[in-house]
Amino acid sequence: MSTTSLDLNTRLLDQREKVQANYVPVYVMLPLDVISTENQLEKPEELRKNLKTLKSAEVDGVMLDVWWGIVENNGPKMYDWSAYRQLFEIVKEEGLNLQAIMSFHQCGGNIGDNTYIPIPKWIREIGESNPDIYYTNKKGTRNEECLSLGVDDQPLFFGRTAIQMYRDYMKSFRENMEYLLDEGLISDIEVGLGPAGEIRYPSYTQSQGWVYPGIGEFQCYDKYLQDDFKVAAAKAGHQDWELPGEDAGEYNDTPESTKFFKTNGTYLTEKGKFFLTWYSNKLIIHADQILDEANQVFLGCKVKLAAKVAGIHWWYFHPSHAAELTAGYYNLTNRDGYRTIARVLSRHNAIFNFTCVEMRNSEHPKEAKSGPEELVQQVLSAGWREGTQVACENALSRYDRIAYNQILKNARPNGVNKMGPPKLRVFAMTYLRLSDKLLKENNFSIFKSFVRKMHADLDYLPDSDKYFVPIETMARSKPEIPIEEILEATKPEKPYPFDPETDMPVGGDNLFDVLLALFGKIKSMFT
């Protein structure tokens, strides 16, 4: 080979390595019921076939719920990992990486849930005699999909607190999956921190009658959180202050139909601000404590921690951001409710995983005052400003180019940089979810093109160290951040600028996609 040819090859290789920094890994969520409630791997050969199909699209890995209600169902510390070990081995044999969710919540009752997996039976038996272990609304309705953060430090579970149970579960996971962690199969551990595994209160639950775009309800009326609020209010010199009552409305109210959330409502008063600060701070402390335990459990493993934040985009353009407030995100025009969470996650070097990146404002009725595009821009910017690695998911299953291009725009907001790392890019994207519909010929063909574009038009890269921030051996979390310092992050800043469209689109819109876009525009004109 001539010297000129060698020089050309060297330049091409150098150029390729620079572009690799734009490669965004793509994971696919497995079905919710891939492990049955009887703790059996369902249809292993069909699963293997589907994993091979995903591998043919050059996806980087899969995401999987590791259900507490399955593994520790039979009694305290009676863990059975056999079905999950079998599943993990199949994933490994098919050459895919794995994101494992420590799912301390119930499957069922949320958007997209198509199966029912309750929390452990012995926990529910405790709840029969002490229903205050669950989140509770002002009418006293209990939500059994996860434990209230009010019992985080209460030794109600055969001598253990809720946080100790979560720690022991993760410790058992490490002990039983140690060899797979050592082999690098598991890229990150997403720690469940609330309903649907998300850092939030269960403020909008379909099983309790909530319908989009209802504002939801506060969930702090179990006796433990009520007592905590009374102590906090007394300490602040306001013994007479109580939790919001009927003035905060019901699940399907609009902000303006309530005294609390209406324009210039209670949420802007000293009392309202005190409550919302307490309510959101409890959520932040809850996340911090459990992530600290997770960090200690997985010390020395070459794996990242992650936590998920919900994309509550409805009422974003109402002054009160009512739906975000009831969920625990104290986010207003003049107060950033997400950068505080990012600051806590940065302490643990944890990934900030955010949803609804496929959505556009025009796809929602105007009366919902929905702003998914601005919300995504705000939240991702908050994560990046705190030096946190940011990942993303779609909230609803979509198979069209329009949604894929929206994801691509948010994944690399300023496009591909051919000279090296882009200014902004997400750590990884997880697609919801593996299904027969996704694998249909036309849908899967578009999906493969989407994966290729997420990979910056590059072939599959097995070694993450070569294209972005390497996953290093987990070190101990940084020192605890005082709540006053966390709250300094509430000062709002302009989000980073996002390009109006992706520079690497999934092209070739078919008639269905065009009609879908047209329908969305027409709908927005008349709603």
Q: How many Å apart are CA 371 and CA 387, to the nearest integer?
A: 25
Predicted local confidence at residue 467, as pLDDT: 73
CA dihedral 381, 386, 387, 392 (to 10 degrees): -40
105 marked as part of a ligand binding site: yes
Tokens of 255: 């902000």
Residues in the chain with pLDDT values less than 70: 1-14, 109-113, 464-465, 508-527
Cis peptide before 48 (omega within 30 of 0): no
Interatomic CA distance for residues 342 and 424, integer angstroms: 16
3-class state of residue 62 by DSSP: strand
Hey, how many other C-beta atoms are within 10 angstroms of the C-beta on 213? 21
| Kind plus residue range of the DSSP H or E element containing 230 | helix 223-235
How many CA atoms lie less than 13 Å away from 523 in the CB half-sphere? 14
Annotated binding residue at 321?
Answer: no
To the question of whether residue 395 is assigned a binding role by annotation, the answer is yes
Q: Which pLDDT tens digit goes with each residue over 405-448? A: 999 999 999 999 999 999 999 999 999 999 999 999 999 999 99
**Strand 142-147 relative to strand 134-136, pairing:** antiparallel
CA-CA distance, 303 to 95, in Å (whole number)?
17
Q: Is 144 a catalytic residue?
A: no
247 is in an annotated binding site: no
CB atoms within 10 A of CB 40: 12
**Secondary-structure class of domain 15-524 per CATH:** alpha beta
Would you say 271 and 277 are in contact if contact means Cβ atoms under 8 Å apart?
Answer: no
Cα–Cα separations (whole angstroms), residue 319 to 210, 261, 265, 275, 442: 22, 8, 10, 17, 42
* pLDDT for residue 4: 57
For position 523, what pLDDT does the model report? Answer: 46
Paired strand residues for 207: none
pLDDT given at position 384? 98
Beta strands in 49-121 (DSSP E): 61-67, 97-103
198 assigned to active site: yes
* Angstrom distance (rounded) from CA 469 to CA 451: 20
152 annotated as ligand-binding: no
**What are the angstrom distances between the C-alpha of 69 and each of 44, 53, 84, 307?**
21, 30, 13, 20
Q: Which residue has the tokens 């409305």?
A: 249
Residue 110 marked ligand-binding: no
pLDDT in tens, 476-501: 999 999 999 999 999 999 999 999 99
Q: Give the whole-angstrom CA distance, residue 23 versus residue 427.
A: 9
Q: Tens of pLDDT along 274-332?
A: 999 999 999 999 999 999 999 999 999 999 999 999 999 999 999 999 999 999 999 99
Q: Is 206 helix (H, G, I), strand (E, B) or coil?
A: helix
Catalytic residue among 190, 198, 217, 324: 198
Residue 385, C-beta contacts closer than 8 angstroms, at least 6 positions apart = 339, 342, 493
CA 243 to chain centre: 28
Q: What is the pLDDT of residue 520?
A: 46
